[in-house]
Structure formats: structure tokens, C-alpha cells
Structure 1
Amino acid sequence: MADESAHHREAKRDLYGLLGLPIDAVDFRSLIRAMDTAVAKREPFLISTPNVNFLIKSHQNVAFRDSMLLSDLCLADGMPLIWIAKLLRVPIHERVAGSDLFGRLKSRTDKRLRVFLFGGTGDLAERVGEKLNAEKCGLECVGVLNPGFGSVEELSSPEIIAQINASGADLLAVFLNAEKAQAWLLRNHHRLTVPIRAQFGATINFEAGTIRRAPPLLRSTGFEWLWRIKEEPYLWRRYWKDGRALFQILWSCALPLAITARLTRREAKFAVYPDYNDEGVTLGLAGAATAGNVDSLLPFVRQAVIDNKCIKIDLASVEHMDGRFFGVLMAVRRQLARRDLSLTIAGVSPRLRRIFRLNRFEFLLADR
């Protein structure tokens, strides 16, 4: 039953591919509604919050990228991602930051979530937990643990997992560095019983008051990084390194994609040609594999999943592919992986292979 629910949820995702990242087109209202549903059903619900640093790391670290590919929702937590989405005509319009999500959950008056605070330095988590309970807000702290600076393996001991699970929390808020947090969440995904899991990064510092968050104007205009450097001067090295890498990605991938998208005709009629056999199903696609044509493909995917069949997608007759279709490929890959089934992509022309490369989704072609 839980497996069917997960597949249904996956099929409903409005998921897009953005330079190798999965990004959901979701606003705060629908996000919180999805979280409440997962809490009510006590279903695992992993949220990732990609920003520029996540984008850069995902191109360098396969395991880190996989942690987002396996997430139930990926939020655009960074204005540069919104700008890139606009450049590439991907309809991601709203920044959904982890810190803002934490604040909105706090401010709710109609429902209260039990939260476990994991990580942070010193006694920050304990202080934030006491503050939450003193305020009687939308978050009730039911557990706190600062595990120190051990490895992912050391932080995954049976004692640590048991303490988190015993709390009965609805939300597990992780305050480790991005790579360690994502690796830890992925490693312990099937051992945790807390339904909502997410890495909230610097939120713990904002909530404790040790670091002031940037004013709303700087956050909305994409210059929050300047404020962060003022508050935490050591961050300039990370922002400088990420900025250089981002410029290279924009120049070598995003701009060529934007030009290609504006020169490509997308009116070609789309069709799906299924071929069923004992080993699986081959879905031959023709025309423009774009957002407007996604609904034509999904019923065939749904039936293949129900029949427990591997899927081969033949793109030999596809003329163009956009971000929404890359999102569908990632979603199909994830649905099949849940059942130990494979997705194979074949018939990729040199022109279409270039589109995969510019979108940083070459790894989808390597899956067998």
C-alpha cells in the first residue's frame, strides 16, 4: 500500500530537469500540504534544498547527485537557480528556501509538527529546541542531538537512529554540512521512522540568533551571499569558488541551451509507439518531447510499472527535448528503481546527445 502511494505521489510531481538537478515546481502552500499528508500516513518523505553550491557539488559527486535524484521533493533554494530557470524557460518561479520553510512551519497556528533537531555546533540545537517550546509555535521540539564531528558511518550508529525514532517526531531537521547531511539521510533512509526528513543548513544559526539572516530585499534580489559574507567572512572562499564554477556552467551549458531552445521549432506532433515483450516494454517516441506532451507518455509508464516491467525508451525519432521531459525521465528512473527495474534510453542522435550533455544529464544515458 505504501509502495502504491509512493508511485502515485511520484507520478503527480511537477518535476523539471535543470542542469543535472531535479527541481520541483512547487510553492509553499502545496509543499506544506504534501508534508502534512506524509505525516498523516507516516510515509518517508525526503526533501532536498538545492542551491548553487548543491548544483556545483552534484556535478562533482555522484553520490551527492543521487541523494537529490532519490528525494521526494527538490526545492529551488537559491535565486541563481530561479534566474537560470527563467533563461531556459523552465517554469520555476518561486524560491522555496529551507530557512523560509522552517519559519512558515513555526508560524502555523492550525497544526503543530513535532520536530527532532539533529546536528548544529555546541548547544545551538538545544537552545533552539527550548526556544521553540517556549514560544508554543507550530513546531514542538521532541528531541535534540548534536552528534559531533564523526563520519557518516559513526553518525549512523544504532543508538543514534533509535534515539531519533523513539522521539515520535514528524519532522527530522538536519543541521550538518550539505554533503554529509545528504549522505547521512540517504544512508539511513530505510532505518528512520520519522516521516519528513530535510537538511536545513544554516537555519539553526538563524533560529539561535548567532547569525542574522539577510534582509528580505537582499534575499529576493539574489544578493544574500553578500550578507552571508559580512556575517561569516570565511564563506567568501566558498562563494568565490562556486561563483567561478557557475559562470563556467552558464557559459558552456546554459547559454547554448537558451539559444538552441529559441531556434528550435516545437510544433512537431508527438506520438508514443509501445512494443511489449517478455523482458519489458519499449516505448518509441517521435516528435517534440516537451512539457505539453508529457501526459501522452505517462499512461504507458504507469502500466509498465504496474506490470513490473523494465522500460526502454527509444528517442530515435525525437526532434527536441525540454526540461520537463528530463524531469519525467528522472521520475520514471526513480519509480522503476523502487522495484529493482531498469530504464534504458536508446536511439539518441548526435544532436539529441548534445542536448543531454548541455543539460548535464549524460548520466541518464549510461543507465542500463
Structure 2
Amino acid sequence: MNPFIPMYGTVLGTRLDVTDYEQALNHVVALARCGGVAAVAAANTHLLAEAAANADFAAVLKSFDVVLPDGMPLVWGLKLDGHDIKERVYGPYFMQHVLRHAPAGLKHYFFGGTKECLKRLEERARELNPQVCIAGAVSPPFGRWDDETETRLIDEINAADADFVWIALGGVKQETWIAQNRHRFKRGVFLAVGDAFALVAGLRSYAPKWMQRCGLTWVYRLSQEPKRLLGRYLIYNTRFVLAFLGERWRRAHS
């Protein structure tokens, strides 16, 4: 039984934890010590827009034990509903916070990214916490996995017997993969953190703090990879804004 009792709010129908970095750390540590399987998502506007348009993915997020408000627009939405929340819980910063402050002896496993990224990530984890215990790191094959490959990867995760399994497979895909295979995992807190590996490893730079506070991290990311991200941001940011405004209008007139 989880002794931690969180506070919740909702944005676009998705339940979000009203929390901060320290409370979220305490929560995931409590989940790890329960000995079962738990799932944590760092939710941004992309994930909420997808959940608002896709009932299957909405069910995926609903199945997660913790859904962190990763984006500033989510924080603003929670504030509009009267929740006392001061900042987002940004996936890469939260990963660093857990690596640095989780109790000694709890084990970490990294799943996703390139081999170079994982090597740098392990180095960075040890810089953050020289006593950190890393149970393993795997760069899975790119693309769709056949049943044999997926079973092998899951067996490797189970064999590592880690307390925290950090997953970086890209937004929507990683959350869906965790939810679909949750019954196959023996134990551990599975944390879907997307771009956190590359950022924590130092392979990409963080947006300036002022841009983060203003909800403009996506503008900084777009400047880094315009060809890859332009279409995604046009679609999902627009979907989020329209759905959010529609939700606020319905609440105001109900």
C-alpha cells in the first residue's frame, strides 16, 4: 500500500499531480519501496493534446500512478482552478533531482537513447551523485520490435531488478509501451521522461530559465531542430490551445 497521499487537478480531462520536485521525489521513493510496479509520466501539452483527441491514449495516462505537470501551460491551468502550484515538474530536472537525492542503495536503470547518450548519461549520473547505483543501461533497436526482441528487452529489465527504470522512447510511444507491458514487469517505478536523457547527458542544451518560466521551451527546441519539430508543434500546440480554450469556455458557461 502506498503511504503517500497526493493532491490532484485536471487539465483537458487528464489527472495531474499537484506537486513539486521534493514531493514528487518522496512519492516515487515511496512507490519504489512498495515493491510492486508503478508508472510515472512527465506530461506536457503534446501528451495532453493527444489524450484529449485519443481515448486509447487517455486511458494510458489514466492508468499511470503519477502524472507530473511538465509544461507551464499545465501549471497555469491548475492555477486557474485554484490549485497552489508554483512551478512545473520538468522531466529532465526531476530526473536529476531523483538521481541526486534518492536514498542510497536504490538502483537505477536507463532504457532508451543511443549508446553514446547512455555512456554520457551514466557519467553525468555519477557526477550528480558519486554513490548512485546504476543497475544497467540499454539502447534498444530503433523502430518497431518483434515479439522476440521485446521479450528479451523486458527480461533484461526484470533481471536488473532496479527500483527506478527510466524510459526514453519519445512521447506517447514510451507511455503506451509502459502501459501495455506493465503486467510483464516484476517490480520498479517506470518513469517516462522523453528528452531527459539527452539533456541530462549534456548532448543538448536547456532553454534559458526565462523562456522556461514563460512556457517557451518549445520555441527554444524548435530553434534547435526546426525541420523535425515544426510539424509536431504546429499540430499539437494548436490542438492544445483550442482544446484548452474550449474547456475554459464550457466551464465558464456551465
- Could you tell me which of 181, 206, 210 is aligned with 2:174? 181
Q: Equivalent residues in 2 for 1:258-269 (5 A)?
A: 259-260=252-253
Counterpart-to-counterpart distance in 1, 2:91 and 2:146: 25
Counterpart-to-counterpart distance in 2, 1:155 and 1:125: 23
Counterpart-to-counterpart distance in 2, 1:135 and 1:85: 31
Residue matched to 1:321: none
Residue matched to 1:116: 109
**Shift of residue 21 of structure 1?**
0.5
Please identify, of 44-53 and 89-98, the stretch whose mean Cα deviation from structure 2 is larger: 89-98
Q: In 2, are the aligned partners of 1:21 and 1:58 still within 8 Å (CA)?
A: yes
- Could you tell me which of 222, 225, 228 is aligned with 1:232? 225
Structure 1 position 72 matched with structure 2 position 75: no
Residue matched to 1:251: 245
Q: In 2, are the aligned partners of 1:106 and 1:137 still within 8 Å (CA)?
A: no
Q: In 2, are the aligned partners of 1:109 and 1:138 still within 8 Å (CA)?
A: no
TM-score w.r.t. length of structure 1: 0.63
Residue matched to 1:149: 142
> Cα deviations across residues 219-242 of structure 1 (Å, max 9, x unaligned)?
122111111112222312222222
Counterpart-to-counterpart distance in 1, 2:184 and 2:150: 11
Counterpart-to-counterpart distance in 2, 1:247 and 1:16: 18
Specify the SS of the correspondent of 1:222.
coil
- Could you tell me which of 160, 166, 186 is aligned with 2:159? 166
Counterpart-to-counterpart distance in 2, 1:139 and 1:61: 38
Residue matched to 1:223: 216
Structure 1 position 49 matched with structure 2 position 37: no
1:44 aligned partner, one-letter code: V
Which one scores higher on RCO, CA 8 angstroms, separation ≥ 6? 2
2:207 aligned partner, one-letter code: A
Residue matched to 2:200: 207
Q: In 2, are the aligned partners of 1:174 and 1:181 still within 8 Å (CA)?
A: yes
Report the count of equivalent residues: 253
Runs of 5+ consecutive residues of structure 2 not aligned to the other structure: none
**Shift of residue 180 of structure 1?**
1.3
Q: In 2, are the aligned partners of 1:132 and 1:140 still within 8 Å (CA)?
A: no
Runs of 5+ consecutive residues of structure 1 not aligned to the other structure: 261-354, 356-368
2:12 aligned partner, one-letter code: L
Q: Equivalent residues in 2 for 1:293-312 (5 A)?
A: none
Give 1 or 2 for the bigger CA radius of gyration.
1
1:253 aligned partner, one-letter code: E
Specify the SS of the correspondent of 1:117.
strand
**Shift of residue 195 of structure 1?**
1.7
TM-score w.r.t. length of structure 2: 0.89
Please identify, of 199-208 and 185-194, the stretch whose mean Cα deviation from structure 2 is larger: 185-194
**Shift of residue 184 of structure 1?**
1.0
Aligned-residue RMSD, C-alpha? 2.4
